[in-house]
Structure 1
Amino acid sequence: MKWNYNDVNIEEVHSEENPITLKDLSFGQPIAKGSNAVVYAAKLKEKNIEEKCLGESGEPKTVEIKLEKDETKFPFALKMMFNYDIQSSSMAILKAMYRETVPARMYYSQGEDWELDLANRKRHLPPHPNIVAIFSVFTDLIPELESGRTLYPDALPARIHADGFGRNMSLFLLMKRYDSTLEKYLNNREVSTRTSILLLSQLLEGVAHLTSHKIAHRDLKSDNLLLDCTEDDAPILVISDFGCCLADKSNGLFLSYNSSEIDKGGNAALMAPEIYTQRPGTFSVLNYAKSDLWSAGTIAYEIFGMFNPFYGGKGQAKLKNSTYNDEDLSDLPETVPVIVRVLIRNILSRNPNKRLDPEIAANVVQLFLWAPSSWLREARKLPSSAEVK
């Protein structure tokens, strides 16, 4: 995929010999802030603009945030990770935050031994329409942005804010700018059944892509799913925020769990039961082969206009992934096609062996959406392999 900005290809303008850094970018308004990072709208500077992020003394200067009503002038989002503990060196930062870089399409390497070792240990996720588009990853000094002292004072280094606890350097990810999170999108409008099915289909396609490359996201939730709303038919959904992922070449989707110190992943409420209930032991293993699929099944309730059963809601008891039974799951609305309702119940099976494989689950929704209607008639003979192809 080529990303074009003002008819100039970003991969041609910036090569490994000329990597993108903060001095190449202009900042727009902050888009989002979480506990681990802040995201700003961004764009590449014009060639004739040489605004520097460093003042005459060598210290980073305050960078102006530009107010632009036309959001298309800032086609990128720049994610700045908060760094409280990691030494201010590229090696230390990339080693500690490498999970964030798993979907990145470009990483600027100096060819050092530690970089090669890290690249050999971690898995790389190829581009996919339903995975966040991260164009570049780099480390740099934390800039003094106009809104920083208000939005994230604790994450700032002492050279910028006397009461800050942050380090001087951190990791930056330059990505496509998206329009909304799935959570905000669902909360702010009525969504048709067909659009909901299209969103579910894309979520399952993204999960299938992860699983096929032996990567587990481990923190799927509706505010980690981003939407591009420029399409007329339905938004394009992508999976983002890979900071909790499992992407190790030696482990694949299986992680030895011999100590409670080993991290199981992110959001405990939407953690698959086989992961949440597993206890550490000499021969204990965490199997993530269908854990993201299960989490996607819980999000399906939100997509179809209901409360997530594992969060609970008004008049609805909260289910616990550690104790629920399959029959405890609420019925989805009658407007949801039967085949989709059955699929969601299947992928929320407490026993992972009863769940479909992620690729098959994604194919079920694709066939419902695009296959000839005659294939889905109950009395009809199943289509042959040749017909399906």
Structure 2
Amino acid sequence: MPVWRYAQAIRRYAKLFIRLHGFTVSRRITPAVAVRVRPKPISRFSLMRGLRGVMKRSSGNVFQQFRAALRNLVALQYTPSIAYKHAHARENLQAALEHRFKKIAARQTRISAFDRIHNIFIANAPKDYSLMHLPDDINEYEIGEFIGGGQNAAVYELRDLKRSTSNDDPLSKNGEEQLAVKMIYNFNFNEPAELLWTDCRSELLPLASTSQIPSGSIANFRPLRRSHPNIIRIHTAFLSEWKQLARAERYYPAVLPSVENYGCIPANPRTLYVVMQRYQMTLDSYMDKVALNYLKAHVMFGQLLEAVAYLYDQKISHRDLKANNILLNFNSQDQCPHLVLSDFGCALSTGSWKLHYKKPDMELGGNIAHLPPEVVNAQPSSSTWINYSKADIWAAGLIGYEIFDRTWFSEREQLLDAATSVDFSQPLFIGTPLGHIMESMLQKDPEKRVEPNVAADVINMMLFRIGDGIVGLLKGCMLEGWRIGHSINALLASTSKTIQCLSERIDAGLDEMISLYAADTILSRRVMDPVECQLRTTFISRTERDHVWAAVCYFEERD
């Protein structure tokens, strides 16, 4: 029983005593008690001291019970415990803080489901093994077969001798390192090899760690902030002695440190070696050898756009997008291949999209066939500035058209074999959301060209295949048919009550849509292709509310 209830019982005993024996008895025995009782009713503790003497002199049953009760009450004097005091102090402090910061708390924004899901997928990103230590001496590797070469480098298979016997290494497969080395051509062995760091600054953008680069070797170097699943991994780069590798005299004889090229053999020739992850084949070879279906085409195109969007967010233009610079890995032909973007030798990474095109011999990009009109049509002058912000999305649109166009030809042959009457005047994706986004990617006016983030969102949203697909999902979330033409961020910032109600409804629809998309990704990860699951995870961890709202417009029916 609580102490205060016990005190109430004692108070009732006191009232009963006074009613039975009157004030006269109390006045004769303890006059002070009667004076206290007369002006106001007896309280819980006011009569305890005065009545204690009365109880000692009484021998009646009522007095004995009253005396026993008083003894117990004195023995059970209430003293709050330390825990109670601390809890009471915390409650008082919390009440004071809530009152003091009430206005600030009212201004705090609610974290939406969209943002919570976005943060969860960012926090649970897969571990990156790119920072694992690898040797910085070419003699500690075993160099294998020649893979390919270009104007500036040759690529070979590579194996780390120290890790070749380890089956637990995450970079290995069947006990063998899946690595490759790019040997940069040193066109002048008479100059210090350290100059290659500056010459290859763009090539080293995906470098996992810049600790191998000597301090001050590369001025204003802006590497990628973190690794990305669709950007090639460069594990290390180092200067080491030149080695005569297989097929060197056949594929790049003009850059060899030979008597024919230099008149004498240069002393201690060195060059730059770049160690990276090895992939099976290029996109161009894959499309020639493997039959595509629309799911694999969508997943590959989505990965390409995720890579372009990642570079776009860091103000980096690749400027050499082509099928031969896109590498693929896969375990079987039925699996969706894992795609990465490689060869950053022509990349523009100055912190600005603009290039001052003053001289005709300036490098504008590696693959002229995939350069956008604003670059191809530029004329060198003191007032000419080329904006590369939408250059990569143009090249990605051309590559995407090549991917889906080959898919269309493959399915056309199947339909012809089945004697089906179909109009083949246009690819099958024309008039679909895929066709709308590719049309926007290939706009000649860069101002009308879509941003890479929005294009990637459209392709990723099309991967939702439950029920009626993404179109049915947008209808269920009431995100279809608005056609407002404004960004969701602008709507949320509006002070108009009508627009605020509208934006809240759209915001709730986006929360519901991304929640269902994330739930589908999580629940289906055991049966879904792992590459598609990785693509969806990248999409959810990257996307923003404004980009998704802009992507919804491409699923609207057009007149």
Give me the whole-angstrom Cα distance separating, in 1, the residues matched to 2:307 and 2:162: 35
| Matching residue of 1:278 | 378
Rg comparison, structure with higher value? 2
The one-letter amino acid of 1:153's match is P
Asked whether the equivalents of residues 43 and 74 of structure 1 are also in contact (C-alpha less than 8 Å), the reply is yes
**Secondary structure of 1:304's partner?**
helix
Asked whether the equivalents of residues 430 and 436 of structure 2 are also in contact (C-alpha less than 8 Å), the reply is no
| Matching residue of 2:203 | 100
Structure with bigger helix share is: 2
Structure 2 residue corresponding to 1:202, chosen from 295, 303, 306: 303
Answer yes or no: is 1:76 the counterpart of 2:179.
yes
Distance 1:27 1:331, change over 3 A: farther
Shift of 1:286: 0.9
Distance 1:170 1:40, change over 3 A: same
Unaligned stretches of 5+ in structure 2?
1-126, 166-172, 408-423, 480-505, 515-559
| Matching residue of 2:14 | none
Distance 1:298 1:188, change over 3 A: same
Answer yes or no: is 1:302 the counterpart of 2:402.
yes
Answer yes or no: is 1:388 the counterpart of 2:482.
no
| Matching residue of 1:253 | 353
Distance 1:171 1:125, change over 3 A: farther
Residue correspondence of structure 1 range 95-174 to structure 2 within 5 A: 95-109=198-212, 111-112=214-215, 114-115=216-217, 118=218, 120-158=220-258, 162-164=259-261, 168-174=269-275
Shift of 1:107: 3.3
Asked whether the equivalents of residues 30 and 41 of structure 1 are also in contact (C-alpha less than 8 Å), the reply is yes
Structure 1 residue corresponding to 2:329, chosen from 205, 217, 228: 228
Distance 1:35 1:281, change over 3 A: closer
Structure 1 residue corresponding to 2:281, chosen from 180, 199, 206: 180
| Matching residue of 1:334 | 428
Shift of 1:109: 3.9
| Matching residue of 1:20 | 136
| Matching residue of 1:211 | 312
Q: TM-score, normalised by structure 1?
A: 0.76
| Matching residue of 1:7 | none
Structure with bigger strand share is: 1
Distance 1:146 1:223, change over 3 A: closer
The one-letter amino acid of 1:24's match is E
Superposed CA deviations along residues 248-293 of structure 1, whole A, max 9, x for unmatched, are: 13xx212222332332111111101111112223332111111000
Shift of 1:153: 1.9
Shift of 1:78: 0.5
The one-letter amino acid of 2:243's match is P
Mean Cα displacement is larger for which, 72-81 or 264-273?
72-81
Answer yes or no: is 1:89 the counterpart of 2:210.
no
Shift of 1:355: 1.3
Superposed CA deviations along residues 63-98 of structure 1, whole A, max 9, x for unmatched, are: xxxxxxx98624101011112147543431111111
Give me the whole-angstrom Cα distance separating, in 2, the residues matched to 1:367 and 1:146: 46
Give me the whole-angstrom Cα distance separating, in 1, the residues matched to 2:389 and 2:261: 41
Task: Provide the aligned length of Structure 1 versus Structure 2.
Answer: 329
Give me the whole-angstrom Cα distance separating, in 2, the residues matched to 1:267 and 1:111: 31
Deviating runs (4+, > 6 A) in structure 1?
Answer: none
Asked whether the equivalents of residues 107 and 138 of structure 1 are also in contact (C-alpha less than 8 Å), the reply is no
Distance 1:163 1:111, change over 3 A: closer
The one-letter amino acid of 2:202's match is R
Give me the whole-angstrom Cα distance separating, in 1, the residues matched to 2:429 and 2:447: 29
Distance 1:35 1:258, change over 3 A: closer
The one-letter amino acid of 2:157's match is A
Mean Cα displacement is larger for which, 34-43 or 363-372?
363-372
| Matching residue of 1:240 | 342
Give me the whole-angstrom Cα distance separating, in 1, the residues matched to 2:362 and 2:384: 12
Residue correspondence of structure 1 range 342-357 to structure 2 within 5 A: 342-357=436-451
**Secondary structure of 1:370's partner?**
coil
Structure 1 residue corresponding to 2:457, chosen from 356, 363, 376: 363
Give me the whole-angstrom Cα distance separating, in 2, the residues matched to 1:233 and 1:197: 13
Distance 1:41 1:354, change over 3 A: same
The one-letter amino acid of 2:360's match is S
Give me the whole-angstrom Cα distance separating, in 2, the residues matched to 1:48 and 1:220: 34
**Secondary structure of 1:295's partner?**
helix
Superposed CA deviations along residues 104-152 of structure 1, whole A, max 9, x for unmatched, are: 113344653x33xx25343435210110111111122210224322332
Percent identity reads 29
| Matching residue of 1:3 | 129
User: RMSD of the alignment, in Å?
Assistant: 2.9
Answer yes or no: is 1:376 the counterpart of 2:376.
no
Give me the whole-angstrom Cα distance separating, in 2, the residues matched to 1:129 and 1:98: 21
Unaligned stretches of 5+ in structure 1?
5-9, 50-69, 308-329
| Matching residue of 2:106 | none
